[in-house]
Chains A and B, each alone.
Chain A
Amino acid sequence: MRPFTFTQVQDVDSAVQEVSAEGAKFIAGGTNLLDLMKIDVMSPSHLVDITKIALNTIEETEEGGIRLGALVTNADTAYHELVETRYPLLSHAILAGATAQLRNMATNGGNLLQRTRCYYFYDTQTPCNKREPGSGCSAIEGYNRDLAILGTSEHCIATHPSDMCVALAALEATVRVKGPQGERPIPFAEFHRLPGDNPHLDSNLQPDEIITAIDLPAQGFAQHYTYLKLRDRASYAFALVSVAAALDLEGSIIKEARIALGGVAHKPWRVPEAEAFLRGKEATTENFRRVAEAYLLGAKGYGDNTFKVELAKRAIVRALEQATKMEPTS
Chain B
Amino acid sequence: MKENYTGKPANRVDGHAKVTGTAKYAAEFDAPNLVHGVVVNSAIAKGRIKSIDTSEALALEGVLEVFTHENRPGYTWLDKHYQDEDSPPGSPFRPLNSDKILFSMQPIALVVAETFELARYAALLVKVEYEREPHSTDFEANISNAYKPKKYKSTPPPDPRGDAEQAFAAAELQLEEVYSHTAQHHNPIEMHASIAIWQEDGSLIIYDKIQGVQNSQEYISNAFGVPKEKVQVYSPFVGGAFGSGLRPQYQLFLAVLAARELKRPVKVVLTRQQMFSFGHRPTTAQRIAMGASPDGKLQAIQHNAFGETSTFEDYNEDVVIWPGVLYHCDNVQVSHQLVSLDVYTPLDMRAPGGTTGTFALEIAIDEMAYKAGLDPLEFRLKNYTDTDYNEGKPFSSKELKECYRQGAERFGWANRKMAPRSMKKGHQLIGWGMAHGGWEAKQKEAAAKAVLSPEGKLEVSCATADIGTGTYTVMTQIAAETMGLPIEDVSFKLGDSSLPKSPLEGGSWTVSSVGSAVKQVCEKLQEELLKVAQKNGHEIFKDAKPEEISFANGRMFLSEAPAQSVPLLEVLALNEGKPLEAEVSAKPAKEQQKYSSYSHSATFAEVQVDEDLGTVKVTRLVSAIAGGKIINPKTARSQILGGTVWGIGCALEEHTVMDNHLGRFINHDLDKYHLPVNADIPETDVIFVEEKDEIVNPLGAKGLGEIGIVSVAPAIANAVFHATGKRIRRLPITLDMLM
Contacts and interface: CB of A to CB of B under 8 A. Distances in A.
Interface residues of B, number: 36
Contacts, number: 83
A307 B666 contact: no
A142 B659 contact: yes
Interface stretch (B64-72, B444-452, B670-678): B670-678
Given A142-B659, A232-B734, A233-B677, 11 more contacts: A3-B121, A117-B671, A117-B672, A120-B666, A122-B672, A141-B661, A143-B667, A232-B735, A233-B653, A234-B680, A314-B739
Nearest to B611: A314
Interface stretch (A77-85, A235-243, A257-265): A235-243
A119 B666 contact: yes
A90 to B, nearest CB: 21
B117 interface: yes
B185 interface: no
Interface string B605-638: 0000000111101000000000000000000000
A203 interface: no
Contact of B662 (A2, A126, A232): A126
Contacts of A318: 427, 612-613
B602 to A, nearest CB: 26
A39 B117 contact: no
Given A119-B666, A230-B613, A39 B273 contact: yes
Nearest to B666: A119
Nearest to B672: A119
Contacts of A238: 671
B209 interface: no
Contacts of B666: 119-120, 123, 126, 142-143
A40 B38 CA distance: 14
Contacts of A181: none
Closest 8 CB pairs of A and B: A234-B679, A125-B43, A307-B736, A235-B679, A314-B612, A119-B666, A236-B677, A142-B659
B679 A311 contact: no
Contacts of B669: 122
A232 B613 contact: no
Nearest to B669: A122
A40 B124 contact: yes
Interface string B667-707: 11101101011111000000000000000000000000000
A310 interface: yes
30 contacts: A1-B120, A1-B121, A2-B121, A2-B124, A117-B671, A119-B672, A123-B664, A123-B668, A125-B43, A125-B664, A126-B43, A126-B659, A126-B662, A126-B666, A138-B662, A142-B659, A142-B662, A143-B657, A143-B666, A143-B667, A232-B653, A232-B674, A233-B676, A233-B677, A233-B680, A234-B677, A234-B680, A311-B613, A311-B736, A318-B613
A315 interface: yes
A252 B676 CA distance: 40
Contacts of B680: 233-235
Contacts of B739: 307, 310-311, 314
A138 B668 contact: no
Nearest to B681: A234
Contacts of A230: 613, 615, 735
Contacts of A125: 41, 43, 664
B677 A138 contact: no
A126 B615 CA distance: 32
B674 A315 contact: no
Contact of B659 (A39, A143, A240): A143
B120 A311 contact: no
Nearest to A126: B662
Interface in A20-50: 39-40
A234 B608 CA distance: 13
A223 to B, nearest CB: 22
Contact of A311 (B124, B653, B664, B735): B735
Nearest to B735: A230
A232 B680 CA distance: 10
Contacts of A232: 653, 674, 734-735
Contacts of B668: 123
Contacts of B734: 232
A28 to B, nearest CB: 19
Contacts of A1: 117, 120-121
A152 B502 CA distance: 58
A119 B678 contact: no
A234 B735 contact: no
Nearest to B612: A314
A309 B384 CA distance: 46
Nearest to B660: A142
Contacts of A234: 617, 677, 679-680
A122 B273 CA distance: 10
Contacts of A314: 612-613, 739
Given A240-B735, A307-B736, A233 B662 contact: no
Interface in A297-330: 307, 310-311, 314-315, 317-318
Contacts of A237: 674
Nearest to A234: B679
Contacts of A240: 735
A233 B735 contact: no
A46 B297 CA distance: 73
Interface string B298-313: 0000000000000000
B22 to A, nearest CB: 24
A117 B674 CA distance: 14
B662 A235 contact: no
Interface in B692-739: 734-736, 739
Interface in B429-450: none
A235 B677 contact: yes
A232 B649 CA distance: 11
Nearest to B104: A125
Contacts of A126: 43, 659, 662, 664, 666
Given A143-B666, A314-B613, A119 B657 contact: yes
Nearest to B427: A318
A59 to B, nearest CB: 34
Contacts of B664: 123, 125-126
Contacts of B652: 233
Contact of B661 (A138, A233, A235): A138
B436 to A, nearest CB: 26
Contact of B678 (A138, A235, A307): A235
Nearest to A142: B659
B434 to A, nearest CB: 23
Contacts of B677: 233-236
B63 to A, nearest CB: 13
A315 B739 CA distance: 11
B332 to A, nearest CB: 37
Interface string A135-158: 000100111000000000000000
Interface in A78-124: 117, 119-120, 122-123
A142 B661 contact: yes
A125 B121 CA distance: 16
Contacts of A315: 613
Most buried by A among B41, B117, B669, B671: B671
Interface string B115-140: 00100110010000000000000000
A125 B661 CA distance: 13
A123 B736 CA distance: 26
A3 B61 CA distance: 13
A29 B121 CA distance: 23
Contacts of A143: 657, 659, 666-667
Contacts of A3: 121
Contacts of B273: 39
A307 B617 CA distance: 19
Contacts of A236: 677, 679
A80 B517 CA distance: 61
Contacts of A119: 657, 666-667, 672
B353 to A, nearest CB: 26
A240 B614 CA distance: 12
Contacts of A138: 659, 661-662
